[in-house]
Structure 1
Amino acid sequence: MIALRQQREAGILMGKFDAGSFKPTDVIMHPIPKGRASATSDAIVYSEAPITLSDDDRSFIQRRLRQSLGGYARPVAEDGDLSSPIPNMVKDLLASSDELVAHSAAIARNLHQEQKAVSPGGLVMTVIGVVGGNRCVVVAKMEHQEGMRVEQAKNDKGQLTYKAEHLRDLILGDGTRVFKVGAFSLLDGGMLDGHVVDDQQRFGGVAEYFVTFLGCRFRQQADVQTETFLNAAQKFFEQRTQNNPEVNAEYEIALLAEMQSSKGTIKPEEFALEHLREEDQDLFLDRLRDRGVPTKSFTKDTALVESKIRRIRISTGRGADVFAPPGMFDDGSLTIEKHDGDSSLITLRDSVKKMSGASGKRTD
């Protein structure tokens, strides 16, 4: 069960990238310096033309990218909430190679602006290729080792590019790593379908800034996404209402009602607007985004949280716990009211069927 859950959380069960069928056709590289770019200056010396590839050169790139994408490739989906320019550029390149030089330069510039201040320099490669018989676009950041031959050169048209003879050093050097890769194709509805890999992380992890830069979010199974939403919401409520149990109960009741409703989707923005205090709404949505939960809408599947949403748990300062179904709040059978000082009065009206203690259960 643990291994299955880890695979689900990593997105592996969503469908693995068909790395074995990937073939590159057009390749261009731009070197980016280490650290984050300044907003007022641009230190990148951009290539002005794709690399002229021989069959052997194309085979080298193909082999290296297949190796990376065939590992812990995690599925991602385009997220319009992020306002990233990358998805539209990728869609242009999926339709035509005409803007490859301009778009690849903009992709390199954007990555340099988004990466961490401690990020190493590297080569940002944009590749147009084919996977599973369909056109695809790959964006990759590769290590640029000191002392390696990575000098740019001019082609026969006087355009700055990389010589194909340097590719073995650039891509197949023993110490050269493919840091990060995003591979994309187009779904029937016009949205991007992608997979990302981060070889600098372990066990399928991917740096958050890289996914944000690509304008994407992780595409999880509905049951995992629903569980993540529930856990993130409950943790947020606990932290924001630790001195106000009445508000905490109000939030929890609304959350459980949402989880138990017959609706097939959860819309966090609508939930926050309808049920949370105004000062909590934006913070709540930020918490969900931090956990990778879409804030517009996602499919609800309560399979992993059934046991958690059947009853509300009220825990008191002295260690008492009261469990009750949400319906008891709705009909007034269970109430929580402010009492003296920091105390609250919990009133439960129902018939007693069983009591249990250290020595076992006792029935009246």
Structure 2
Amino acid sequence: MPNYSTLSLASVFMHQIALHEHNGEKKFNALLTDIPVELDARDLGFLTDRFSDALEKRALNVVPSEHVDSPSPGAVVSHLRTADLKTLSQLLAGRLVESQRLNAKTGLLVVADAVLDGTPGVLIAKVEHQEAMQAEATTLEGGLRSISIKRIPDLVFGEQTRIYKIAVLQATDKNPVGIQGFLADIQNGGGFANYFLGEFLGLKLADEPEVLTERFLDKMTEAIHQSSLGADEKIEAQAALAVDIKSNSSFVDAEAFIRTHIPPSHQQDIRSAASARGVPMMSFTKDPKRISARLNNLRINLGTEISLVAPPHQIGSQGQVRVERDPSSSNGELYDVTIKGVPLESVTNSRPR
């Protein structure tokens, strides 16, 4: 994943996406502009920070979709070659009006020249309007002090305003269309609005949810195993990982997992190691079907050619299989494994591992 803090913006076009009603029929219209928005350095920096923060929290890789006939990918490629941001932004505004559902909200389409990790590209974002109240202290006749309240019906880019959908697209030679990028849909949590990703942008996720879920399990396991956590802490974390993936939640969130199940003093190391291994460090739709058989049991391999297999919920301080440091170990690297309160059902010769 790129370093989203390197994002910079140059020329910025904004087009208003409005909802009109005529003879009882509602439809979206694009109110097109002809020149870039005038932004001083401070405002441009504020806008850039909002976009980079949204991407950092939720962005996943996207590539062209062969199942959608959208002009957007080709138009972006053409702009990167000919530098005609006005034409690109107006085309995208028209395509958004054609693509989005009537239950979508009004707002602004933002299209900007961007550079991310040193590579030129195009930023495309849909930002929805919000309502707010502005309070201002006033002094009335006679010296009485009061607060005047003014309603702002179409606030955008406020500190609490959520940037709902945002993508950064860049040229590539890795697919025939010549475009790839990163997309975040803050409004939909770990999911993506189909009309925005597919019909509007003509893209799809580079990795399906089942691939991302398997990567989350494998690479987070590596990060835990290579960390300086104690053996008992590694077992607790690994058990929690399996339980987290098997839960009823529709999403996986690596950041939430680390905050909840990794001791605070180790969180940054685990976070860095997981990110370096390609773990998506944001919420995404979960699909465990490729790894479901691997979630039912954990195998604890010990240094004496002994291994134990048990369900994740039975391993750890609250389960029947408990791992604790051996108090007689001088270097702290020996552990006692205790299995409490289970019947001995059978003893057989096992196949060699």
| TM-score (normalizing by structure 2) | 0.50
| TM-score (normalizing by structure 1) | 0.48
